[in-house]
Structure 1
Amino acid sequence: MSIFEASPSPWTGRMLSLLRIVAGLIFLSAGTMKVFGFPPSPMPMPPLASQLGIGGTLEVVGGLLIVLGLFTRPVAFVLAGEMAVAYFQFHFPQSFFPTVNNGIPAVLYCFLYLYFMFAGAGPWSIDALIAARSVGTTDRVGFR
Structure 2
Amino acid sequence: MATTYPGRESTRSVASLAPQLLSVLRIVVALLFVTHGLVKLFGFPTGAQPGMVPLFSVFGLAGVLELIGGAAVLLGVFTRPISFILSGEMAVAYFMAHAPQGAFPVLNGGELAILYCFAFLYFAAAGSGPWSLDARRRG
Cα 1:7–1:119, aligned 2, differ >3 Å: closer, same or farther? Answer: farther
TM-score for both structures, normalised by structure 1: 0.85
CA distance in 2, matches of 1:18, 1:25: 11
Moved more, 64-73 or 30-39: 30-39
Identity of aligned residues (%): 49
CA distance in 2, matches of 1:73, 1:97: 30
* One-letter amino acid of the counterpart of residue 116, structure 1: F
- 2:104 pairs, out of 74, 79, 97, with 97
**Is it true that 1:119 corresponds to 2:126 in the alignment?**
yes
Contact kept? 2:39, 2:49, Cα under 8 Å: no
Q: Hey, which bits of structure 1, 4+ residues long, moved more than 4 A?
A: 5-8
Correspondence for 1:14: 20
Correspondence for 2:60: 53
Tell me which protein shows more helix as a share of its residues.
2
**Is it true that 1:36 corresponds to 2:61 in the alignment?**
no
**Is it true that 1:27 corresponds to 2:33 in the alignment?**
yes
Structure 2 residue runs of 5 or longer lacking an equivalent are 1-6
CA distance in 2, matches of 1:92, 1:77: 21
1:6: how far off? 6.7
CA RMSD for the aligned pairs?
1.9
CA distance in 2, matches of 1:44, 1:120: 32
Decide which structure has the larger Cα Rg and report it: 2
Q: Deviations over 1:99-132 (max 9, x none)?
A: 1100000000000000000000000000001111
Structure 1 residue runs of 5 or longer lacking an equivalent are 133-144
TM-score for both structures, normalised by structure 2: 0.88
Q: Deviations over 1:12-42 (max 9, x none)?
A: 0111000000111110011011101111125
